[in-house]
Amino acid sequence: MIQDILPKHFDNQYKRQVPQAGDYVLLFEGTCVLAKQEAEELVCPTYEMLAGDFQYIYLFSVDEEKYFLAMEKCEVQRGVFAGEMADADVHQEYVSVIEGFEFIGVNTFRMSKPKDRAFAVITAYHLYGWYRDNKRCGRCGDKLVHDDKERMLRCPVCKNMVYPKISPAVIVGVTNGSKLLLTKYAGRTYKNYALIAGFTEIGETLEQTVEREVMEEVGLKVKNIRYYKSQPWALSGSLLAGFYCELDGDDTIRLQEEELSVGEWVEAEDIDPEDDGISLTREMIVNFRNNVVG
């Protein structure tokens, strides 16, 4: 999956640092990042390339490579944090500030190499959305300031502490003997097969989320819910928990058309996708096929 970058090490511990020549700086506009593609390689600008009045925030490191977020000072960030709607196109509506670089939809991470840089870019995008959307205290309205010791924004007036937003969500592989329930989203740029998915609501367990989302999206009851694996998914600012479960009763699919355009039972031997090394969804689909057929 996208976070599996060994032998390289991802260090997300916050440090109070300033960028130096050679450090990567990531500048976002809406759902785009300033970068360029050289063949399949995703190239990010370094500190000495970027001129202008920017605020730099240390993000994390991958081995010895440091990444910083660049945000324009005195400018309201008006982009939409709609990650799952992002595409990988070049967006000419945003003006590049570095010759040879362009604003590319962040969804380019799915096809880019090296994998550790693609993971860095999409993780930085998650943090960008959080920093952009938390300029003032939600309790008293005063301006938030950056903490010196941890990745946290604090209010100097009412002492409110604001940490990065991570939303729990589930990915669900619903099985029916040798068949797996595959779906396609409605109204999204991602057109490949997917699994049932959804965010956990207040007061719910993850298992209850599985039952509710399956019922809401395809009208099916399930049983024998079992956890498989988790994945950070920065496009939606979520932590995904993957579950398999079995159909309980009638297999008639009643599609929630606002969310899904396709829902169908597919025999394991008819499942085509290969593991892309990126998403928990794809790994779970391929895992089901291989385990049933093998």
128, 16: one domain: yes
Amino acid 186: pLDDT: 79
Amino acid 250: pLDDT: 95
Out of 83, 116, 133, pick the residue that ends a domain.
133
Average pLDDT in the chain: 90
Question: Can you tell me the mean pLDDT for 13-18?
Answer: 92
Q: Do 105 and 37 meet the contact criterion of CB atoms below 8 Å apart?
A: no
Is it the case that residue 293 has pLDDT exceeding 50?
A: no
Domain annotation covers residue 160: yes
26, 129: one domain: yes
Domain annotation covers residue 38: yes
pLDDT digits (tens, 9 = 90+) for 118-155: 999 999 999 999 999 899 999 999 999 999 899 999 99
Domain annotation covers residue 3: no
Amino acid 192: pLDDT: 80
Domain annotation covers residue 1: no
Domain annotation covers residue 265: yes
Task: Give the C-alpha separation, 241 to 209, whole Å.
Answer: 10
If you ran DSSP here, which 8-state letter would residue 214 be given? H
Q: Do 155 and 238 meet the contact criterion of CB atoms below 8 Å apart?
A: no
287, 206: one domain: yes
Binning pLDDT at 50, 70 and 90, where does residue 168 land? Answer: very high
Number of domains in the chain: 3
Amino acid 76: pLDDT: 57
pLDDT digits (tens, 9 = 90+) for 184-230: 887 666 678 899 999 999 999 999 999 999 999 999 999 999 999 99
Of 28 and 52, more confident: 28
pLDDT digits (tens, 9 = 90+) for 235-260: 889 999 999 999 999 999 999 888 88
197, 272: one domain: yes
Is it the case that residue 31 has pLDDT exceeding 80?
A: yes
> What's the whole-model pTM score?
0.90
pLDDT digits (tens, 9 = 90+) for 77-101: 555 555 556 777 888 888 898 999 9
Question: What residues does 60 pair with on adjacent strands?
Answer: 67
122, 184: one domain: no
Nearest alpha-carbon partner for 174 in 284, 97, 12: 284
Amino acid 84: pLDDT: 56
111, 30: one domain: yes
pLDDT digits (tens, 9 = 90+) for 261-288: 899 999 999 998 777 889 999 999 999 9
Residue whose entry in the numeric block shows the structure tokens 């029916």: 176
DSSP, residue by residue, 21-56: TT-EEEEEETTEEEEEEETTEEE--BGGG--SSEEE
100, 209: one domain: no
β 24-29/65-72 pair status:
parallel
14, 129: one domain: yes
Domain annotation covers residue 4: no
158, 192: one domain: no
235, 261: one domain: yes
205, 95: one domain: no
139, 105: one domain: no
CATH number at residue 187: 3.90.79.10
Domain annotation covers residue 157: yes
Say if residue 89 is exposed, middle or buried (CB neighbours under 10 Å; 0-12, 13-18, 19+): middle
Domain limits for position 73: 10-133
Domain annotation covers residue 46: yes
